[in-house]
Every structure is written in structure tokens, then in C-alpha cells.
Chain A
Amino acid sequence: MANISESVPVATDSSRSGLHRLMQRKSSIAFLMTLPLILLIGVLVAYPAGYAIYLSMLNKSMVRFVGLGNFEFLMGRDSFWAVVYQSCLFAVTAVIFKAVIGFVVAHFVHNIPAKGQRKWRGMLLVPWVIPPAMSTLAWLWLFDPSYSAFNWILALFGMDPVPWTGDTSWARFSVILVNVWIGAPFFMIMYLAALKSVPEQLYEAAAIDGANWWQRIWYVTLPMMRNIIAITALFSLIVTFANFDIVRVLTAGGPLNGTHVFATWAFRVGIESGDIPLGAAVSLFMVPILAVAAVFILRDINKRGNEA
């Protein structure tokens, strides 16, 4: 790369030392430029992440080292396994629905004439732009036990009011619904960008070969979009698995702790009940799934980096 700049002093007598100095200067400038980033990541991300592991091995008053005692304690409690179950159910269901809705909506937007697409895309991305805590408040109000606007519509059709956040199963449905509402537009945008990158000739070739619309999606669109679909789903899985805002605002974990996910339960245990080590232990249970997703994403990025 910067060979040309380095080759300039070669013409002079003091070439060797000049070149050497230049090289040294370049790498030291580069190091100084990245130093704030390294410090930030080191002090406020890497260190706390390691510290969390240490914290999780202390007892409640943080004076005695208990090893894996907190993890053992968690493993033996039904309420913890309920949180594990709900976290997985929440993340997997929400990501699947987000991916499917995003895919379908992206196709509809892609189908209409190009000049109207911008307007529709702009409208459909609004849920992603609003801060999640704020839009969840609107959902909380839509789900209100006595003034629910949804139940008012249901009543028009003579149906019974639905306990949106009052009953465990319905509350689980509600938090997933809100998550899908917030996240599906992101999938839509990613898939739309991917759809635009599929060459038109492939569809023409498929049409000439007599492929119907389903075969075109299955044999042309999906293989061409495979990478984007996978990486978007993995990203979303990480974010959904670590979700806090929606569950916290909508149900605060209730009713009867039925909707707690790792993040909200760690907050309840660690900050609100003051058992910091146990809270740290709860949040660390998110690491394995995050690590698996991260490995797959990195593999994909390295692969594409090599192709380029």
C-alpha cells in the first residue's frame, strides 16, 4: 500500500534511516489514532466483561469467594429454568416471525413500481426509528386492562376482552408481538437491499425456463439472499436474546415472573434486590448463545473478506 511514499526517500543517501523513521512514524501515528478506541474497549467493555465473571463467583455480600456456587444455586431453581425457557421461546419465536414478515413485506415493496418504493419503505421503517421504550409505552396503553383500544375493537365484533398483559400466555404473546413489530422493519430493509442486488437476468432466465413464482423464490431469490438472511437473523438473535426495554416496560417480568428474560431477571436480582453476584451470574448465561452467533457471523465476514 503506502509503498510509494516510502520509496521517495530511497533516492537520497540517507535512504535507510529515513525509510526506517518513516515506517516507525507511520505505525506510531496509527497506534495513537487507535489508542482512544483501544482504551474505551479495554476499560469499559473488555474489563467489565471479565469482571462480570469474577463477580459471579462471590457471595451476596461480595466478601467471600464461592466459585461456581451461584451457578449451582441457579441450576437448582425452577424459576431460573423458567427464565431460560422464556428467553429461548421469546428470542426464537420473535426472530422467526420478524424474518418471515420482513421477507414478505420486502417482496411486496419490491413488486410495486420503483418510484413509490421510497415512500412505502419510509413509512414501514418507522417502528425501528422510534426509541423502543417509547413505542412500548404506546403498546402498554393499547393493552391497558380497562381501556384497551384492541379490546374495544374486539367488543365491536362481540368478542370477550383479552387480558393482554394480565395472563401469562397472553403476556408472552404480547411481548413477542411488540418485539416483532419493532424488529420486522429492519429485516424488511435488509431483505429489500438484498432483493435489489439479485440480477434481473436470473429471473428472466427462470421465467424462460417456465419457473412459477414459487420456484423463482425457492431457486433464485433464496439462494442469492442466503448470506444476508443468515447474517440478519443472527444479528437479530443476539439483540433479541439480550432484549431488556420491551419486557421491562410492558410487563416488568410479570405476571408471576412469566415473561422474565435473562436481562430483566438479572436487573431484578442484581440491581433491585441487591444481589450483584447472582445478577452477574444470570447475565452470563447469555454468553454461550451470543458466542455461537458471533462465531457464525465472523466466519461469514472472513469468508466474504477473502472473496473480495
Chain B
Amino acid sequence: MTDAAANAAGPSRTIQYGSMSRDRKWALRWSYFFLVLFAIFFLMPPIYMLITSLKTSAEISAATNPWWVFSPTLDNYVALLTQNQFLVFFRNSIVVSVCVVAVSMVISVFAAFALARMRFWGSATLATGVFLTYLIPDTLLFIPLFKMFAFVRDTFGIELMNHWWTMIIVYPTLTVPFCTWIMIGYFASIPKELDEAALIDGATWMQTLFRIFIPVALPGIIAATIFAFTVSWAQFLYPLAFTTSTDQLLLPVGIITTLIKGDVFNWGQIMTGALLGAAPPLIIYAFLMDYYIAGLTAGATKG
């Protein structure tokens, strides 16, 4: 019985090995072929942004091949970067993003440390609550926030509407829950022996956090920082709903509301602005890709 099976398998096995390696080779070729197709699909819009940003208005409206630049020029870049308004948008966006990153990292590192290591009454519920908060979208909150700002103005005399710095207050609601969540995951993966040893040696909780947890979980902190930066840089709904004057706009809203004037689309400048607006996250991604991807996958694979 076994002999027969072995005999039957014998000759067919060598053939299968040969066909398997041939299959492999073809699978590889097809993989590269489709990867090239998908790469074209995924990279086409940003490349088209670059192409358009290098054209003059005359060339954009000419009936030539739109996928090629016949007379490249940097006029659009010069025009935008010397335009005071655009620089104000850029400055607003940078200040807001940096402040939001700082605020969210401070809040989430402390909270994640307490939730991961210092079990206290209600800590498990709070951890779940943090995760639930992450699932509440900005599109559900902008209308009540809009009304709350009016209430704050009427009661405390503080005008929150139409100020770019209001975003520093509201953006952490989008970044803190996820940052806390992935920091809990990173902190929980640190061996307990490490902090127990520190506590035996007489370290306070604060020393344990700063001397052990933060250095050991540094990759997690970098991933969370990148996440907070990309989210606050890309946020579009809140500034659109809460700011109107041109000197208070953030970059994405600024580009869309000021460069599109009525039916006159200055596409060269719009694409230049969009590319410059996309540049900071892209540059960070280019240099810190592994941390970026670690942060992306941490949400679902850890926890």
C-alpha cells in the first residue's frame, strides 16, 4: 500500500518540481507586470501634479499632449512662494501641526503609560473608551463644535471662530485617541521585569517612564508622532467649517478657496500649491517609511 503510493508519487514528483519552478518564474513575471500597472495607477495623479506645475498657463490651455511638458518653467513656484498669502497658509499649517503633535504626544504618552502599567479603577473601561473615541469621525462633531464655539463666545467672550489657533484645540481630538492606543500597545510589549527592577531600585513612576519606557518605546513614539503630524496636516473639514478670512486659513483649505476664483481655475498654480501642500508628509514618509508603516499596522495588529 505504502510502496504503491511511493511509487506513484516517485516519477510525478520530479515533473512537479520542474513545473513548480517554471510556474514560479511565470508568477514572478506576472507579478512585476501587474505591479508596474498598479504603480502607474497609484502614482499618476501626483506625477500629473508635477507635470502641470511646470507648465505656463498658455501651455495648459493649448491643445497639446497634456502628459508632456514642452517648455518647463518654475514660474508657478516663484509666483506662489513670493505670494504673501500662500506663505501665511504655510506658516499657519506648520505652527498648528507642530503644536498639535507636541500636545498629543504629551497627553497620549502619559495616559498610555498609566493605562498600560498602573492599573487603577476604571482603567480598562477608559482604554476601551479611548478606542471608541477613535471611531467617532470628525464629520459627526463639526456641527456641535460650531455651536459650542458660539456658546464660548457668548459666555466667556473668547472668539474661537475664524482663528487658525482654534485648530490647535480641536485637532488633538483626532490624534490623541489613536496615539494613546498605539502607545498602550508599545508600552504593554515592554517586559514587566524591566520596570519592576527599576521600582525595586527606588525609581519613582516618573523616572520609570522617562528613563525606561520612553527610550525603549522610541520607535512607537516616532510612529505616533508621524501619525499625529500627517493627520493634522491633512485635516480639511474643521478649518473649512471654522475659518473664513484668508489670513486665518490653513494650507489645504487655503489652496482650495483662494486659488479657485469663481470659474477661473489657475491650474498651474493650483497643482503647484497642492504639490507643495503634499510635500511635508511625503518628505517625512520618504525618510521614515518603516516607522510610518509600523504606525499604520500597529492599530489593528497590536492591542
Given known A34-B111, A45-B173, A228-B301, contact A262–B135 (CB-CB < 8 A):
no
Please measure, in the bound complex, the distance between the C-alpha atom of A36 and the C-alpha atom of B115, giving whole angstroms: 13
Asked if B86 is at the interface of the complex by the 8 Å CB criterion, the answer is no
A271–B176 Cα distance when bound, in Å, is 26
Interface size class of A (residues with CB under 8 A): 35 or more
Number of residue pairs A-B, CB distance < 8 angstroms = 297
Select which of B41, B143, B265, B267 is within 8 A of A283 by beta carbon. B143
* Contact, CB under 8 Å: B42 / A228: no
B48, A142: Cβ atoms under 8 Å?
Answer: yes
**Pairwise interchain contact A37-B277, C-beta atoms closer than 8 A:** no
- Proximity bits, B57-96, A CB within 8 Å = 1, else 0: 0001100011100000000000000000000000000000
Asked, given contacts A48-B144, A123-B43, A152-B65, whether A231 binds B137 with beta carbons under 8 Å apart, the answer is no
Nearest CB in chain B to that of A151: its residue: B66
On whether the beta carbons of A8 and B46 are closer than 8 Å, the reply is: no
- Cβ-defined contact, A2 with B133, below 8 A: no
Residues from chain B with a CB closer than 8 A to the CB of A184 are 42
Inter-chain contacts of B130 with A (CB < 8 A): 37, 41
The secondary structure that dominates the B interface is: helix
Inter-chain CA distance A286–B139, complex, in Å, is: 9
| B contact residues around A63 at 8 Å (CB) | none
Closest CB-CB distance, A143 to chain B, in whole Å?
A: 11
- The reply on B5 being an interface residue by CB < 8 A is no
A1 contacts the other chain (CB 8 A): yes
Q: Mark A250-281, 1 if CB is under 8 A from B, else 0.
A: 00000000000011001100110000100110
Q: Which residues of A contact B253 (CB under 8 A)?
A: 133
B194 interfacial contact with A, CB 8 Å: no
**A40 and B172 contact, Cβ closer than 8 Å, known pairs A26-B205, A105-B35:** yes
User: What residues of chain A lie closer than 8 Å to B4, measured between beta carbons?
Assistant: none
Is A232 interfacial (CB 8 A cutoff)? yes
Residues of B within 8 A of A44 (CB): 141, 145, 169-170, 172-173
**Residue B56, interface by CB 8 Å:** no
Q: Are A120 and B199 in contact (CB-based, < 8 A)? A: no
Q: A286: which B residues are within 8 A, CB to CB?
A: 137, 139-140
Cβ A147 vs Cβ B45 within 8 A: no
Task: Tell which of A51, A109, A133 touches B256, judged by Cβ atoms closer than 8 Å.
Answer: A133
Contact A111 B28 (CB under 8 A): yes
Is A11 positioned at the interface, with any CB of B under 8 Å from its CB? Answer: no
Question: What is the minimal beta-carbon distance from A200 to any residue of chain B, in angstroms?
Answer: 14
User: Do A186 and B49 have beta carbons less than 8 Å apart?
Assistant: no
Contact B200 A137 (CB under 8 A): no
How far is B34's CA from A133's CA once the two chains are assembled, in angstroms?
28
| B303 pairs with A130, CB closer than 8 A | no
CA distance A122 to B138 in the complex (A): 28
Alpha-carbon gap, A137 to B139, bound state (A): 20
Q: List 28 A-B contacts (CB under 8 A).
A: A1-B117, A1-B119, A26-B120, A29-B114, A30-B120, A34-B123, A37-B107, A37-B108, A41-B130, A44-B169, A45-B141, A46-B133, A49-B136, A51-B144, A55-B143, A101-B38, A130-B282, A131-B233, A142-B44, A147-B66, A152-B66, A181-B42, A189-B293, A190-B296, A190-B297, A194-B301, A263-B139, A301-B303
Known: A122-B289, A266-B143; 6 extra A-B contacts, CB below 8 A, are A2-B118, A2-B199, A33-B118, A34-B110, A111-B27, A132-B234
Top 10 A-B pairs, shortest CB-CB distance: A242-B137, A131-B234, A263-B139, A48-B144, A30-B118, A5-B199, A138-B45, A37-B111, A33-B114, A111-B31
